[in-house]
Every structure is written in structure tokens, then in C-alpha cells.
Amino acid sequence: MAKTPQEREQLRQARVTARTAAQTPLVGPAGAAVASIILPGLGQILSRQTQRGVLILSAMATSVGIFAWRIAELGRRVDGFGATILRALERRPGFVALVAVVLALVWLVAAWDAYRCSRDRRRPTTGIFALVLAGFFVLGWQIAEIDVVKLVREAPEALPPLSRVMWPWAAAVEYEEQAVTAGADVLAGEGPAPERAPQVEGEPYLLVEPNVGQMTTQDEDFRPVPGTRITLTGTGFTPNTETEIWWEDPVGNEFRPREDGEYLIVTTDEQGSFQLEMTMPYRLTPPSAEGPFIHRVEARQISTVGPPRPSEALRLTISRMIETIFMGMMATFFGIIFSIPVSFLAARNIMSGSRITMAIYFLTRTILNIIRSIEPLIWALIAVVWVGLGPFAGIVALTLHSIAALGKLYSEAIEGIDAGPIEAIQATGANRLQTIMFGVIPQMISPFISFSIYRWDINVRMSTVIGLVGGGGIGFLLVQYIRLLDYRSAGIAVWFIAITVATLDYVSAEIRNRLM
């Protein structure tokens, strides 16, 4: 209905009078400003802008409180109020000064705001809240220990492991190793020299000269007393190849001796020969052991032969990845089975019959909401306590979360069912079962499948991390590699997770698109 301009003007006037009558400020503009200087927000409250006043007051109280706490933290270990502040200022001058300035600004603006509230009898702009937000931002920066400098400074350190994670494929394959070795016995202590093995034509041979001597030992002050120098001469090895020296003590323990802190390693010449001098190494021998002992020194050439084959890391990753996908699948499967009956209990249109059913509806909804609001990772922690480490714990956790999430989605699908087609099918003379098969299920099937696939997608994604807390799957392997600092193998796991999740994402989106 059209109104004349005069009518409209009258209406506006009436509205203004009605409002101002109820909102006459209790104090004048100056009074309001003073009140807000004394207590930020008080002036606004006195100007009948209670909500605004309370908001300003609580924002100020919160930021001043947090600021005080941070100062106390920074000035820990000094006594006295002034000293604490000075210490804090000394440690983080920028932060303390900035926050103090912002707070003072907010304080002043709050007073100005109160002045305007009282004068104009209506809400001024929201600029003061932007200022409060800025204050919170500065506080948050300090509390969260944000450190951009560190981010840049540590980057070179992080680069090597990161590059291994990003391109880990060197560790994805391994080769069969072939060893060319020859060894000789060395006697430690006094006694007849051990018999030298005969040299065979075409076989590698190692000659140790002398082959009787003293091992390196320690004196009372644990200073090393060097052992006998021996010369190793190798012949008949593969030419131009790195050769490692190994030592085997009489007990049968092998180790690689070092000279000046470096492992002993030598490269053979054109003829496959080498010569090397070394000191007989230190070896802790049991006190009961006395007398001479036969040690053995060996020269080894390790070379790779044959085609590359998947490394253990790759094989483990693939098997864990399969485990992960199936974990996600089983959790989805159980989730679907249990959430179907639950979803009916959580559907308002089905449960609205009586008080009791409504009570069940609210109870079910509440429980579902609680279960859903707890992250699967936390459920996994609980499940690990419950059923122990391994994929089953992960499945239990994911199933619980799936029931809650799917129960909600399904119940919404049930609530969204159109009664019209059901009525139409009934009108044809169909019985109850036929009505369900023709009227209800076709309406449910597409959201049902779509939600289930979506959930499978989520569950596989979740099961890749659920291993972090011991729930099995590839996450379990990943943390182990990271703890062992085996970044290449960890990288392989990360790559597989990324590939699987991306593939699944695509497939599930594609299926859902077709269904829609």
C-alpha cells in the first residue's frame, strides 16, 4: 500500500520520539566522558548504551588482565612492582610499549565514544572495536610465541631433511649386494704368529704385517696407549673400488676401526691392490679373559649387482597403506551399519509421535553431538587404552566417530524426505513394503550413498594420522621413521599418503557428482 511522503515523515518522527524517550542519557556528554575515563564503558552505560558499555568494559578488563599476566611472566624472578615492569620492558620493549600505547588509545577512544553516545543519543561507529581487536592481535602475537625471524633463520637447517622428505625415491629401491672379502688373523699378545692362509690365484688376498702385536689399551687415567702399527696389503680385489676395513674380535663381534676418528676405507688401484697402515684398535676385553687372542681383520668390497628392487621402506609403506585403506573401509562399513538404526532415532519427523519418542530423539541427538565433537584422534587414544595398539584401535575410534557423523547426516536425509511421493504410491493401492521400496528408498539412496562415500574418504584420511597415537596404519610407520630420523623413508610414507588421499578425494567427488 502506497503512503504519501507526509505520512512517512510523520511515522519517522513518531519512531524517533518513541526511541529517545526510552533512551534519555543519565549524564551529559562531558560526564559520560569522565565516567569512561574512570572506568571504560561506564560512560556508555550511563548513556543508556548498556550493551556497548559492558562490551567495552569486558574487552578492556580482558586485555589489561592478559597484559598484566604477560608482564608478570616476562618480569619473573624480580621482586617489586616497578622492577617487574622495568624487567619486562627491558626484555621485550617493542611488545610492552606497543600494547601500552594501544591500551591507552582504546581508553581515550572509549571516553570519546561515551561522549558521543551521550551527545548523539545513538550508537557511534564501531571503530573502537577494531582498535580493541588490534590490541588482542598484539597480545596474541606475543602469547603464541610467533617468531618470524626463527622461521627464516632455521630454514637452512631444515632444508636437508625436508628435501629428503620431498624427494625420497632414492630410498625406494635397493640392490642385491655382493661382497668381495679377504681376511687375515692377527694375534694380540705374546705367542707364536698365527698361520697365514695360503694365497690362491684369482682370489682376493690380504696380508697383515706384522701379524702379532698389542691392541690399543688405556692407562689408569683412561688415556689411550696406542697399539702396534700394522700394514695391510691387499691383492686380487676389484680394481678402483672402495674397500672397507672390518675388525672381528675373538668373541665374534664385528666393528669398523677408525683412524683419527674416520672409518678406515681405501680405494684399490688399477690392479686391484692396496696398502694401508693402521694401529691395532682398542677393544674392551673381559677381565676374566687373559693371554693371547686371535683377532681377525678383513677387507671388504661391497658392490651392487642385478636390477633394483623395492626397498624395505617401500614395501612396508605399501603394506601399511593397504592396511590404512582397509581400516578406513572397515570403519566406514561398521559406521554405516550402526548409524542406520541410530539415524531413525535421531530423525525428528519419525520420532515426533509422542513425548517418549521425542525424549529418545533429544537424547540420541545429544549423544551423537558429543561423540562427534571429540576428534577421532582423541577417540583413538582412548581406544588404544581399551583394545591396545594396532589397527583395531584405529577402527574402533573411526567407527565411533563415523556413527555419530553419519547418524546425523542420515537423520537429516530422513527428515528431508518428501511425503508427496509416498502419499502418491500409497494412493495406488501399494502396501507398506511396496511403499517403502518405491516411495522411501529411492529418495534416501542418493544422499545415503553420497554421505557414505564422503565418510569413507574422511575415514581413510583420518586413518593416515590415527597411527600417530598408535592406532595402526601408515601413520604408525611414519612416526617411527621420523623418530629414527629416517627422513627418506618418512618421505615415502608421506608421498603415499598424499597420493592416496588425493586419488580418493577425486574418486569420491566424482561418484558423488554422478549421483547428484
Angle at the Cα of 267 from the Cα atoms of 265 and 269, rounded to 5 degrees: 155
For another protein, the binding residue among 104, 437, 502, 507 (CB under 8 A) is 437
Bridge partner list, 297: 184, 247
Min. distance of Cβ 416 from another protein in angstroms? 12
For another protein, the binding residue among 248, 446, 495, 512 (CB under 8 A) is 446
CB of 419 or CB of 485, closer to another protein: 419
Measured over the CA atoms of residue 98, residue 100, residue 103 and residue 109, the dihedral's sign is negative
Min. distance of Cβ 427 from another protein in angstroms? 4
Q: What span, in angstroms and rounded, lies between the C-alpha atoms of 25 and 43?
A: 10
**Residue whose grid cell is 668373541:** 251
Q: What span, in angstroms and rounded, lies between the C-alpha atoms of 498 and 477?
A: 15
CB of 115 or CB of 448, closer to another protein: 448
Query: Residue 148 CB: number of other CB atoms within 10 A?
Result: 8
For another protein, the binding residue among 40, 394, 439, 473 (CB under 8 A) is 439
What residues numbered 366-425 form the site for another protein, per CB under 8 A?
418, 420-421, 423-425
Q: What span, in angstroms and rounded, lies between the C-alpha atoms of 398 and 101?
A: 50
Q: What is the DSSP letter of 470?
A: T
3-state secondary structure of 480: helix
Task: Tell me: does residue 282 bind another protein (CB under 8 A).
Answer: no
Min. distance of Cβ 355 from another protein in angstroms? 15
Contact pattern from residue 61 through residue 100 relative to another protein, giving x for each residue in contact according to CB under 8 A and a dash for the rest: ----------------------------------------
CB of 105 or CB of 511, closer to another protein: 511
Q: What span, in angstroms and rounded, lies between the C-alpha atoms of 142 and 136?
A: 10
User: What does the buried/exposed string (b/e) look like for 437-458 if buried means 16 or more CB atoms within 10 Å of the residue's CB?
Assistant: ebbeeebbeebbebbbbbbbbb
For another protein, the binding residue among 136, 246, 293, 438 (CB under 8 A) is 438
Min. distance of Cβ 426 from another protein in angstroms? 6
For another protein, the binding residue among 199, 256, 442, 498 (CB under 8 A) is 442
For another protein, the binding residue among 445, 449, 499, 502 (CB under 8 A) is 445
Question: Per the structure block, which three cell numbers stand in for 80?
Answer: 617489586
User: Could you tell me which of 226, 191, 26, 193 has the C-alpha nearest to residue 114?
Assistant: 26
User: Could you tell me which of 458, 457, 463 has the C-alpha nearest to residue 478?
Assistant: 463
Bridge partner list, 304: 177
Counting every residue, how long is the chain?
516
- Using alpha carbons, list the distances in angstroms from residue 137 to 60, 63, 130, 132, 142: 14, 10, 10, 9, 9
Min. distance of Cβ 137 from another protein in angstroms? 50
For another protein, the binding residue among 429, 483, 485, 514 (CB under 8 A) is 429
For another protein, the binding residue among 349, 369, 431, 503 (CB under 8 A) is 431
Task: Tell me: does residue 434 bind another protein (CB under 8 A).
Answer: yes
Helical segments of 346-486, H only: 348-351, 355-373, 376-387, 391-415, 419-427, 432-435, 441-466, 474-483
Question: Per the structure block, which three cell numbers stand in for 378?
Answer: 582423541
Question: Per the structure block, which three cell numbers stand in for 218?
Answer: 688405556
What residues numbered 238-267 form the site for another protein, per CB under 8 A?
none
Min. distance of Cβ 513 from another protein in angstroms? 15
Min. distance of Cβ 4 from another protein in angstroms? 24
User: What does the buried/exposed string (b/e) look like for 410-422 if buried means 16 or more CB atoms within 10 Å of the residue's CB?
Assistant: bbebbeebeeeeb
- Count the site residues for another protein by CB under 8 A: 21
CB of 20 or CB of 431, closer to another protein: 431
From the list 49-57, 123-131, 374-382, 426-434, the region that binds another protein by CB under 8 A is 426-434
CB of 148 or CB of 516, closer to another protein: 516
Min. distance of Cβ 340 from another protein in angstroms? 18
Task: Tell me: does residue 449 bind another protein (CB under 8 A).
Answer: no
From the list 46-54, 209-217, 350-358, 436-444, the region that binds another protein by CB under 8 A is 436-444
Min. distance of Cβ 358 from another protein in angstroms? 15
Min. distance of Cβ 349 from another protein in angstroms? 15
Sheet with 205-209, strands from edge to edge, namely: 205-209, 229-235, 274-279
For another protein, the binding residue among 430, 468, 479, 482 (CB under 8 A) is 430
CB proximity list for 90: less than 8 A, separation 6 or greater: none
For another protein, the binding residue among 443, 479, 482, 512 (CB under 8 A) is 443
Instruction: Confirm if 58 and 49 have CB atoms less than 8 A apart.
Output: no
Instruction: Confirm if 414 and 343 have CB atoms less than 8 A apart.
Output: yes
CB of 160 or CB of 353, closer to another protein: 353
Min. distance of Cβ 446 from another protein in angstroms? 6
For another protein, the binding residue among 2, 144, 356, 427 (CB under 8 A) is 427
**Residue whose grid cell is 583413538:** 380
Binding-site ranges for another protein (CB under 8 A): 418, 420-421, 423-431, 433-434, 437-439, 442-443, 445-446
